[in-house]
Amino acid sequence: ISVGTQHRTGYHFQPRKHWINDPNGPMYFNGFYHLFYQYNPNGSVWGNIVWAHSVSKDLINWEAVEHALYPSKSFDKYGCWSGSATIVPGIGPVIQYTGIADEKQTQVQCYAIPEDLKDPHLRKWVKPDDSNPFVVADNPVNGSAFRDPTTAWWSKDGHWRIVVGSRRKDRGVAYMYRSKDFKKWVRSKHPLHSRKDTGMWECPDFYPVSLKSNLGLDASADGNQTKHVLKNSLDVTRYEYYTLGTYRRDKDRYVPDKTSEDGWGGLRYDYGNFYASKSFFDPSKNRRVIWGWANESDTKEDDVRKGWAGIQAIPRTVWLDPNQRQLLLWPVEELNNLRGKEVNMNNQKLEKGEKVEVKGITAAQADLEVEFSIPSLEKAETYDDKWVDAQEACANKGSNVEGGVGPFGILTLASEKLEEFTPVFFRIFKDKKKHVILMCSDARRSSLKGDLYKPTFGGFVDLDLTKDKKISLRSLIDHSVVESFGAGGKTIILSRVYPQLAVLKQAHLFVFNNGTEPITMEKLKGWDMKSAQIN
Ligand code: DQQ
């Protein structure tokens, strides 16, 4: 096995070689899903950016086709950066993206349309000369921080609108543009939204969610049965956050709800390695699906040696949590078609210090669903207010630090003698009147190799345990990926890890409890995952 092969993914999207980053312009059109992505055709570090293109019938198996966009015009000579697709009735798909026009990286907004709408794969894209670029930065917009147009939405005033990410000094800004014909675009008087101290807003995403059901909505959907989501990727922290809120069409403004922070500490789709995400509405299944990029956490030299870098997370269906305070995300159902051999373990008590191996599946390429029940919350430790966030709490209270209720969870990609493992676990604390649930995915012991980024990712889980003392965990394990969904998609953490011993057949999987309170593993289902056909 050559360098890096044992860490390549079996079912997470990646090209055969070289560098990838942001997912671009995801869409469903005429029976095919399309995924474009930022790609360096010449190597495994960022640069020479084109839009690579793959097509699929099921979001899981993909066929690579030729690059859709590559520098070919004066307005995108230095790169075709991120953007989105809109299916315009009567016209078809339109890609809007950021062209890099000069060596100073001046950013202009450009568009492309399929050369032949009858080609089911939409292989060739053209950039009409008469109306490109369709927007250039004008005062006060800063043309070196002006990129990543969203999917357009239509309003009854007869206009299409899009948002483009930017900043004004340290203020993150979502500039809005409108158009009647999808060719000529005019900037709105004020941005859709902006927020102090958040820096450059990359890859904004703006879409409605239904208050009444978990079905997805087209970007243009409207009415009092909806709420809106605004997501931004912060290039300063390399994290994304989103808010839920109201889109006031009359005022052309988005007003976030006050139920979560509008800033660095806000809600996240994923509390791990997940960036530059983008959603699309899938009319074939009436759902909204989110793609996100998971970067490597090894060194540049490792990436050069491996010859590849970057993957896409498993596409996730997204809908509003019935509590209306956050979103829920869950792997698309098509992923289950890769499930092979199944193991079951039911009703097993885990005393303090106990560790049970899940045997009979390939632990390096698996899907695992576990349901834990907690007899009593009485022994929950007191939450220490000096921990500024969940990540810090996880770093202080690792999987080996004994507790009252928890830590309990799983040890993924573990070597036989536990020289290496990536634990994913919960811990429950008391905090004044309520309980605080912490979910952690800790890469500190993930590899014997030294020069890796091994963060202790963490997020809180907004779940009321007082009635039903149960919490679930699903983990998608894929060689160098541990993508975990807590409490049915309330809190998600994707970790990239590079075990040296716990690879391929050498990888093990355990369930554990290191808390005084015994935990019952009510149900565990694990599956071998078949490899997807990817590119
Ligand atoms: N990646 C693209 C930009 C975007 C950034 C360039 C986010 O368009 O802002 O590859 O990862």
Question: Which atom of ligand 1 lies nearest, measured to the CA of 233?
Answer: 7
Cα 490 from Cα 459, distance rounded (Å): 10
Q: Tell me, what's the pLDDT at 2? A: 66
CATH number at residue 442: 2.60.120.560
Question: pLDDT tens digits for 131-179?
Answer: 999 999 999 999 999 999 999 999 999 999 999 999 999 999 999 999 9
Question: pLDDT tens digits for 361-391?
Answer: 999 999 999 999 999 999 999 999 999 899 9
Distance from CA of residue 346 to its chain's centroid?
31
Active site residues: 22
Residues 6+ apart with CB under 8 A from 185: 109, 134, 135, 162, 177, 178, 179
Q: What does pTM read for this prediction?
A: 0.98
- Cα of 40 vs centre of ligand 1, distance in Å, is 12
Cα 206 from Cα 166, distance rounded (Å): 15
Cα–Cα distances (Å) from 249 to 138, 254, 441, in that order, read: 24, 8, 40
In the DSSP assignment, the letter for residue 353 is: T
Residue whose token pair is 């209306």: 324
Q: Tell me, what's the pLDDT at 166? A: 98
- Cα of 485 vs centre of ligand 1, distance in Å, is 26
Do residues 350 and 249 both lie within one domain? no
Do residues 358 and 321 both lie within one domain? no
Is 415 contained in some domain?
A: yes
Question: Which atom of ligand 1 lies nearest, measured to the CA of 83?
Answer: 8
Do residues 123 and 222 both lie within one domain? yes
CB half-sphere exposure, 518, CA atoms < 13 A = 7
Cα 232 from Cα 389, distance rounded (Å): 20
Identify the residues whose C-beta falls under 6 Å from ligand 1.
21-22, 38, 49, 81-82, 98, 147-148, 202-203, 233, 275-276
Is 13 contained in some domain?
A: no
Do residues 328 and 345 both lie within one domain? no
Is 329 contained in some domain?
A: yes
Question: pLDDT tens digits for 275-295?
Answer: 999 999 999 999 999 999 999
> In which element (H, E) is residue 246 found?
strand 239-248
Residues 6+ apart with CB under 8 A from 200: 145, 165, 166, 167, 172, 234, 235, 236
Q: Tell me, what's the pLDDT at 432? A: 82
What would the two tokens of residue 82 be? 């991120």
End residue of a domain, out of 288, 315, 333: 333
What would the two tokens of residue 11 be? 């079912």
- Cα of 202 vs centre of ligand 1, distance in Å, is 7
Do residues 499 and 410 both lie within one domain? yes
Residue whose token pair is 């675009």: 185
- Cα of 82 vs centre of ligand 1, distance in Å, is 6
Do residues 355 and 323 both lie within one domain? no
- Cα of 323 vs centre of ligand 1, distance in Å, is 33
- Within 10 angstroms of residue 355's Cβ, the number of other Cβ atoms is 13
Is 535 contained in some domain?
A: no
Q: Which of 147, 233, 273, 312 to mutate to test the pocket of ligand 1 (most atoms within 8 A of CB)?
A: 147
End-to-end distance of the chain based on CA atoms, in angstroms? 20
Question: Which atom of ligand 1 lies nearest, measured to the CA of 200?
Answer: 9
Cβ atoms of 488 and 382 closer than 8 Å: no
Is 479 contained in some domain?
A: yes
Q: Which of 18, 19, 20, 21 to mutate to test the pocket of ligand 1 (most atoms within 8 A of CB)?
A: 21
Residues 6+ apart with CB under 8 A from 50: 38, 39, 40, 41, 67, 69, 70, 71, 80
Cα–Cα distances (Å) from 365 to 232, 475, 497, 527, 533, in that order, read: 31, 10, 13, 9, 15
Fill in the amino acid letter for 124.
K
Do residues 405 and 327 both lie within one domain? no
Cα 478 from Cα 485, distance rounded (Å): 14
Do residues 109 and 228 both lie within one domain? yes
Is 91 contained in some domain?
A: yes
CA nearest to 436, candidates 472, 466, 402? 466
Do residues 65 and 212 both lie within one domain? yes
- Cα of 22 vs centre of ligand 1, distance in Å, is 6
Cα 345 from Cα 101, distance rounded (Å): 58
Ramachandran angles phi, psi of 442, nearest 5°: -115, 110
- Cα of 338 vs centre of ligand 1, distance in Å, is 31
Question: Which atom of ligand 1 lies nearest, measured to the CA of 81?
Answer: 8
Q: Tell me, what's the pLDDT at 332? A: 98
Cβ atoms of 352 and 513 closer than 8 Å: yes
Question: Which atom of ligand 1 lies nearest, measured to the CA of 38?
Answer: 10
Q: Is 6 helix (H, G, I), strand (E, B) or coil?
A: helix
Q: Which residue has its alpha carbon closest to ligand 1 atom 5?
A: 202
Cα 86 from Cα 58, distance rounded (Å): 20
Q: Which of 98, 105, 202 to mutate to test the pocket of ligand 1 (most atoms within 8 A of CB)?
A: 202
Q: Which residue has its alpha carbon closest to ligand 1 atom 9?
A: 202
Do residues 81 and 197 both lie within one domain? yes
Is 290 contained in some domain?
A: yes
Do residues 326 and 361 both lie within one domain? no
Do residues 134 and 210 both lie within one domain? yes
End residue of a domain, out of 287, 307, 333: 333
Distance from CA of residue 424 to its chain's centroid?
18
Domain tally for the chain?
2
Question: Which atom of ligand 1 lies nearest, measured to the CA of 275?
Answer: 11
Cβ atoms of 241 and 264 closer than 8 Å: yes
Q: Which residue has its alpha carbon closest to ligand 1 atom 10?
A: 81
Cα 349 from Cα 518, distance rounded (Å): 7
Q: Which residues of the chain carry a pLDDT beneath 70?
A: 1-2
CATH number at residue 209: 2.115.10.20
- Cα of 451 vs centre of ligand 1, distance in Å, is 26
The secondary structure of 195-225, three-state, reads ECCCCCEEEEEEEEEECCCCCCCCCCCCCCC
Residues 6+ apart with CB under 8 A from 433: none
Is 5 contained in some domain?
A: no
End residue of a domain, out of 308, 333, 358: 333
Domain that holds residue 344: 339-529
Q: Tell me, what's the pLDDT at 466? A: 85
Residue whose token pair is 């885990």: 350
Q: Which residue has its alpha carbon closest to ligand 1 atom 7?
A: 276
